[in-house]
Chains A and B, each alone.
Chain A
């Protein structure tokens, strides 16, 4: 049996992504959960992850006490792209600043807006990114 592909979900309120984790798990992904930037980086060091799904506003954790939590996700993405440049990243957040979203997109990060993206769309996008296939999103 093929080992399950791993998806790392980083969100300081993990119950918010519980439905997402349940949907991905029954589609043969293994979901790893981190609640801050420090634990996210630790998991990435220990596991071969197919896709990273991260929030923006989250605590930096013990290793980065000076990082501002409101911008932490940007610094996290920056660090991940430097250390694991081929790891696909999906950003799942409520940020509305178009300039920041454009900046993320420019860097190859897919952006999904929490609250506006149906779960089925998020699952489809994340699965496609993890499997390296084109994203086909049906209208909801």
Chain B
């Protein structure tokens, strides 16, 4: 009697283990599939600008093509270079940020960074890309004076530059043709703390309300974004969020209809009096 009960229980356990095993196998297959798709996507993202650069160089060598057109092709090469550098920096940042290091464990240490200068430098890097797509980036300089005055950010410059670049790149990618992307300084009371930061606003592809919270998840891309621009890594805002958290800051996403605003917010102790050399 006892033996029979024991056998029955064992076989139930075996069945359960079998079921668990096949569920795990299925999960593994799914993970493999999505990793594969992700890698293919990454490969496409990296090769596409290189292919464009190759063809543009070949076209520039073509004697039949007039000089003004060649100038456009050169400008396009510059833009593709910017895209590529930015993309590679994002991938190299991934490993550091995924390891959940503290800010002190990074090779670069926090330094005084003038927010207006940082924004201007990045905008001049991205402006050719925007112009090529008949868009433009405008900076509201007076807001930086109002919000930061003579203060600067105490941050790891390369990390914050990458976070802001990710916002600019998304704004260029998803805004409508002929529109202007606005960069300004903002002050905001959030979670009972007076935050200050930099925002990037654009008019373009609407973001679904239920997707706003997911935008900062690794690999997530909004349904509208995927439909409009199939290629994309979905790591831009994820990395921006990681970078801001390292600095005890926040990324705030606001979207209503075609208007989108992404803001990098810094806590009061990251905003300090400017260093005088």
Contact = CB atoms under 8 A, between A and B. Distances in A.
Interface in A107-128: 114-115, 118-120, 122
A41 to B, nearest CB: 17
Interface in A52-92: 57-60, 65, 69-70, 72
Contact of A15 (B54, B59, B76, B231): B76
B227 A69 contact: yes
A132 interface: no
B188 interface: no
B37 to A, nearest CB: 9
Most interface-central of B55, B56, B64, B228 (chain A CB within 10 A): B55
Interface stretch (B44-52, B86-94, B103-111, B149-157): B44-52
Nearest to A58: B230
Contact of A12 (B64, B132, B230): B230
B230 A59 contact: yes
B139 to A, nearest CB: 24
Contact of B52 (A19, A22, A58, A70): A19
Contact of A69 (B50, B52, B64, B226): B226
B55 A119 contact: yes
B97 interface: no
B98 interface: no
Given A19-B73, A23-B65, A119 B229 contact: no
A3 B59 CA distance: 24
Contacts of A122: 55
Nearest to A116: B51
A23 B230 CA distance: 27
A131 interface: no
Interface string B52-80: 10111111001011100110110010011
A13 interface: yes
Nearest to A120: B58
Contact of A22 (B44, B47, B54, B69): B69
Contacts of A20: 55, 59
A48 interface: no
B76 A18 contact: yes
A28 B238 CA distance: 47
B231 A57 contact: yes
B230 A70 contact: yes
Contacts of B73: 18-19, 22
A34 B194 CA distance: 47
A16 interface: yes
Contacts of A65: 227
Contacts of B44: 57, 94
B80 A27 contact: no
A15 B132 contact: yes
A1 interface: no
A99 interface: no
B51 A115 contact: yes
Contacts of A94: 44, 47-48
A23 B60 CA distance: 9
A53 to B, nearest CB: 13
Interface of A: 12-13, 15-20, 22-23, 25-27, 57-60, 65, 69-70, 72, 94, 114-115, 118-120, 122
6 tightest Cβ-Cβ pairs between the two chains A and B: A19-B59, A19-B55, A69-B230, A119-B58, A26-B64, A115-B51
